Amino acid sequence: EAGVTQSPTHLIKTRGQQATLRCSPISGHTSVYWYQQALGLGLQFLLWYDEGEERNRGNFPPRFSGRQFPNYSSELNVNALELEDSALYLCASNRNRESTEAFFGQGTRLTVV
């Protein structure tokens, strides 16, 4: 069974551009979470999608947005990129909203120059 897959692995953008990060959850999982791990910091919760709807949002500005598709894959969009957006972006999936442990992908390393 394939795990959570994220693409691309690495992404380099210039300040002001937009970045799109993609996540495919484990087959059968309906919940997808996005986290940001900036250098030296813990995992900061960004967004939670379940059954195609946004269920919760972390303390991030509106230029961080996303969506979940009918096949439960998800996309994270970051508009008007700033240098401090450089981080590892991690996607995780859960079987459903009641499940406990989330399974993480390997992450997308976003670098803003």
Partner 1 sequence: DQQVKQNSPSLSVQEGRISILNCDYTNSMFDYFLWYKKYPAEGPTFLISISSIKDKNEDGRFTVFLNKSAKHLSLHIVPSQPGDSAVYFCAARGTGTASKLTFGTGTRLQVTL
Largest CA distance in the chain: 39
Q: Considering the rule CB under 8 A, would residue 39 count as an interface residue with partner 1?
A: no
Instruction: Name the strand (E) or helix (H) holding 66.
Output: strand 64-68
Residue closer to partner 1, measured from CB, 87 or 92 = 92
The pair of three-digit structure tokens given for residue 67, joined into one six-digit string: 């969506």
The string of DSSP letters for 22-40 reads EEEPPTT--EEEEEEE-TT
Cα separation, 98 vs 46, whole angstroms: 19
Q: Considering the rule CB under 8 A, would residue 66 count as an interface residue with partner 1?
A: no
Q: Considering the rule CB under 8 A, would residue 60 count as an interface residue with partner 1?
A: no
Residue 74 has a CB neighbour count (10 Å cut-off) of: 25
Q: Considering the rule CB under 8 A, would residue 45 count as an interface residue with partner 1?
A: yes
- The stretch among 11-19, 41-49, 63-71, 79-87 that binds partner 1 (CB under 8 A) is 41-49
**Options 21, 81, 92, 112; binder of partner 1; rule CB under 8 A:** 92
List interacting residues with partner 1 (CB under 8 A): 4, 33, 35, 41-45, 48, 55-56, 90, 92, 97-98, 100-107, 109
